[in-house]
Structure 1
Amino acid sequence: MKSDLTFAGLKAIKHSFSLPLDYAKPDGKQITVFARELVSPDNRDKQLPYLVFFQGGPGFGAIRPAANGGWIKRALQEFRVLLLDQRGTGLSTPVSYLSLNHMDSEQQAQYLTNFRADSIIKDAEAIRAQLSPDKKWSILGQSFGGFCVLKYLNDAPEGLSEAYITGGIPSLTRHADEVYQATYKRVLAKNQDFFKRFSDAQTLITQLAEHISNNEIRIATGERLTVEMLQLLGINIGMEQGPESVYYLLEQALIETESGTQVNPLFLAQFCQLLDFNTNPIFALLHESIYCQTHASKGEVSTSSASNWSAQRIRGQYDEFNYESGKPFLFTGEMVYPWFFEQFTNLKPLKHAANLLAQKSDWSQLYDLDTLANNQVPVAAAIYSEDMFVEMNYSLETAKRVGELKYWLTSEYEHNGIRMNGEHILDKLIALNRGEQLR
């Protein structure tokens, strides 16, 4: 099914595809996968190749562009852009506690095992068979989308003409524990930068932490605001313009009233807008699983690929993140913790399923080292040296192990650089992939 419309001066075509939930059972349960195709008015009648965009996450729908700008503007010069709502997100049979409430916890966990990168890539190839059966297409992945790009190169390189990655080259072999050991160090560095840059921020956040510890404060979605929740704002300090948004919010957090110090209702509302665990549960449920696999190449065999709440366990090595009165306050990053499923209203019904997924030790292999070493698809990647979310050294390690992968290492951007200067970044990567002079 598809429908056409025009917005922001662009031709947009809405596609919906009925695809198997589990590709091992193609005649079993079907889900809907949605994709939005964009083409510039000047090219609407041209048979241009597709560029498929894989969104970051996991668990977030594709961007909803309101204008012809950024990386999309550059891409539309020579492509039709396909914005894919990865399964379980956006308009693609979205996952929520409501959509899963007819299942018991074991059934929920089993259902959710079908929402990793391997299934996302099978969806993409099934869609290509319908939209572009005789032609390869190009792909672009941001953050977790970069994980999907590598999985595509691993599983179905025959469908690809070229690939691009921004802020998302994962380790091919390292366990989640190693990933979090590295990222906790990066989060510490970002905290140092933040509190040095905003000299009164430590005072502001400490006052707020003490206030919510001594008073029952509820955020706009009804949950009690805890110090652990407050620390989660740190996911934003690793983004372009994120530190500013966090600081401005802290400036307005506490107000003086006739009844004494109160938490500003504006803070309570905006706090919810900066965190989306209630609205995008796949991120909390499957985030650690994106690192989980059983290796089967050249002796690199893991006896268990379970995460076992890796971020929570590794946090035990970094006591400075455990806030107490009198200690400096530190933000955390994109780590997922088991207490999410005790404190966030929309995650509470999924607590047991989350524990089952954390304990799952038989995740399938994601990457075959020999296959990727022999890759023939041109790949260009932007690696951000100051990225809080992706360890640069692990990205460089992977870059050496993937054939035909060229990279641009830069300190100019944070993790979400493509949102801030996407036209320039994609233009550089296209030139890199095609051996043209970098501008």
Structure 2
Amino acid sequence: MSNCQILSGIQSIKHTFMLPLDHQQPNGPRISVFARELVSPSHSDKALPYLVFFQGGPGFGAVRPVANSGWIKRALQEYRVLLLDQRGTGLSSPVNAVSLSHLDATAQAEYLSHFRADSIIADAEAIRQQLCPGKKWSILGQSFGGFCVLKYLNDAPHGLKEAYITGGIPSLTRRCDEVYQATYQRVQRKNSDFFARFPDAQPLIQNLAQYISTHEVRIATGERLTVEMLQLLGINIGMEQGPEAVYYLLEQALMESDQGLQMNPLFLAHFCQLLDFNTNPIFALLHESIYCQQHASNWAAQRVRGQFEQFNYRADSPFLFTGEMVYPWFFEQFTNLKPLKHAAHLLAEKADWPMLYDVNILARNQVPVAAAIYSEDMFVEMTYSLETAAQVGNLTYWLTSEYEHNGIRMDGERILDKLIALNRRQQLR
């Protein structure tokens, strides 16, 4: 099913595909997967190749364009862009506490086990065979989308003409614990940068942490604000413009009134806007599983945190933000995650996750791949990305310190143009 409309000067066509929940059981239950096709009006009658975009996450719908700008502007010069709402996100069959409420915890965990990169790539291949049968297409992955790109190269390279990755080259072999050991060290460095850049941020956050430790404070979505929850704002300090957003929020957290020191309602509302665990539950449920290959995560971020005691808040020690970590207490404190608590624990204990990558297959890769690796990336370990880049055949990378993790959102036109040029040179060799 599809329909056409004009959005921000871009022709947009909506597609909905009915696909198997489990591609190993094609006659079993089905889900819907949504994709938005974009084409420049000047090219609408041309048979341009497709560029499929894999969003970061997991658990977030594809970007909703509001202007012909950034990487989309560059892509539309020579592609039809397909913005894929990965299964369970956006306008695809939703995953949340409401949609899963008819299942018990065991059935919820079984259902959710089909929402990793392997299933996302099987969806994409099924869509390719419907949209452009017999033709190859190009793919672009940001962050977790880059994990999906590598899975595509692993599982179905015959469907690909070329591939692009920004801020998303994972280790092919390292386990969750190694990933988080590196992650905590990167996050600590970002904390140092943040508090050095904003000298009054430490006393501001210390005063706020002390206040919420001694007062019952409710954020706009109703949950009690805890120090652990406050630390989660750190996920933003690894983004372009994120440190500024966090600092400005802290500036207006507490206010003096006739009743004394009180929380500013503006802070309580804006705080919720900077965290999306309530609205995008797949991230909390499956984030650690993106690293799992025949092993369980067993709440790796929580366990590894024990090696980094400085992240455990104490009033007499510097306050540190955490980063892209998921903790079991999410399912006790966030309202929309509470009903999924038992399923979350079952997924954390699941040890039979299928393998994601075959090092030998990727070493023989023939699909041209160009990747942007950000040396200052808080979310993806640079040394692991370089390690993987050396293991994947036909991969050329651009290592730069110019951007944070969300560089493609801030300067996407330049970044994609650079990567396209890398791939073109690679293909001419």
TM-score, L = length of structure 1: 0.97
Find the aligned partners of 2:400 and 2:104 in 1 and give their Cα distance.
47
Runs of 4+ aligned residues of structure 1 deviating over 4 Å after TM superposition are none
* CA displacement at 1:7 relative to structure 2: 1.3
Find the aligned partners of 1:379 and 1:136 in 2 and give their Cα distance.
14
For the pair 1:402 / 2:383, whether they are aligned, the reply is: no
Change over 3 Å in CA distance of 1:80–1:16 after alignment to 2: same
* Counterpart for residue 363 of structure 2: 373
For the pair 1:126 / 2:116, whether they are aligned, the reply is: no
* Counterpart for residue 360 of structure 1: 350
* Counterpart for residue 269 of structure 2: 269
Find the aligned partners of 2:26 and 2:275 in 1 and give their Cα distance.
36
* CA displacement at 1:436 relative to structure 2: 7.8
* CA displacement at 1:168 relative to structure 2: 0.2
Structure 2 letter corresponding to 1:251: E
* Counterpart for residue 73 of structure 2: 73
* Counterpart for residue 291 of structure 1: 291
Structure 2 stretches lacking a partner, 5+ long: none
After superposition, residues 65-144 of structure 1 pair within 5 angstroms as 65-144=65-144
* CA displacement at 1:6 relative to structure 2: 0.5
Find the aligned partners of 2:120 and 2:284 in 1 and give their Cα distance.
18
Structure 2 letter corresponding to 1:422: G
* Counterpart for residue 10 of structure 1: 10
* Counterpart for residue 298 of structure 1: none
After superposition, residues 183-194 of structure 1 pair within 5 angstroms as 183-194=183-194
After superposition, residues 249-328 of structure 1 pair within 5 angstroms as 249-294=249-294, 305-328=295-318
Structure 1 letter corresponding to 2:342: H
1:284 counterpart SS class: helix
* CA displacement at 1:365 relative to structure 2: 0.5
Find the aligned partners of 2:324 and 2:109 in 1 and give their Cα distance.
22
* CA displacement at 1:170 relative to structure 2: 0.1
Find the aligned partners of 2:164 and 2:94 in 1 and give their Cα distance.
26
Question: Cα RMSD (Å) of the superposition?
Answer: 0.8
For the pair 1:420 / 2:410, whether they are aligned, the reply is: yes
Find the aligned partners of 1:341 and 1:10 in 2 and give their Cα distance.
40
1:33 counterpart SS class: strand
2:368 and 2:426 in contact (8 A); partners too: no
* Counterpart for residue 319 of structure 2: 329
* CA displacement at 1:369 relative to structure 2: 0.6
Structure 2 letter corresponding to 1:13: I
> C-alpha deviations, 1:117-175, integer Å up to 9, x for none?
00000000000001010210000000000000000000000000000000000000000
Find the aligned partners of 1:320 and 1:232 in 2 and give their Cα distance.
15
Structure 2 letter corresponding to 1:381: A
Q: What number of residue pairs does the alignment pair up?
A: 427
Structure 2 letter corresponding to 1:92: S
* Counterpart for residue 47 of structure 2: 47
* Counterpart for residue 200 of structure 2: 200
Structure 1 stretches lacking a partner, 5+ long: 295-304
Find the aligned partners of 2:128 and 2:269 in 1 and give their Cα distance.
41
1:110 counterpart SS class: helix
* CA displacement at 1:184 relative to structure 2: 0.3
> C-alpha deviations, 1:83-136, integer Å up to 9, x for none?
000000001101000000000000000000000000000000000001010210
> C-alpha deviations, 1:251-309, integer Å up to 9, x for none?
00000010111110000000000000000000000000000003xxxxxxxxxx10000
Find the aligned partners of 1:436 and 1:418 in 2 and give their Cα distance.
22
For the pair 1:37 / 2:37, whether they are aligned, the reply is: yes
* CA displacement at 1:40 relative to structure 2: 0.3
TM-score, L = length of structure 2: 0.99
Structure 1 letter corresponding to 2:69: G
Find the aligned partners of 1:176 and 1:240 in 2 and give their Cα distance.
26
